[in-house]
Amino acid sequence: MKNRKAVFSVGGMDCAGCSVGIEKTLKKLKGVKAANVSFATGKAEVEFEEGTTTVSQLKDAIVKQGYEAKVADIQ
């Protein structure tokens, strides 16, 4: 399986604690290798295993936490 990286613009975060919560949620998903969410930049970078996790699943996990998520880049 190939590792991919997805970057999301995350809206609705109002403190650093928000980013920590999103990061923890993303890291619990099967196939996620690393997640880095920055309150300062409003971005979430997620390294994941292609075929185990999809970009849609990552986005849905952020949205279910009560935030807006838009795909900014996929590598």
Amino acid at 17: G
C-alpha span between 49 and 27 (Å, rounded): 12
Quick one: pLDDT band at residue 7, thresholds 50, 70, 90? very high
Domains, the chain: 3-74 (3.30.70.100)
The residues near 17 (Cβ < 8 Å, ≥ 6 apart) are none
Q: Is the pLDDT reported for residue 1 higher than 90?
A: no
Are 74 and 6 in contact, with CB atoms under 8 Å apart? yes
- pLDDT (tens digit per residue) in 28-49: 999 999 999 999 999 999 999 9
CB proximity list for 29: less than 8 A, separation 6 or greater: 48, 53, 57, 58, 61
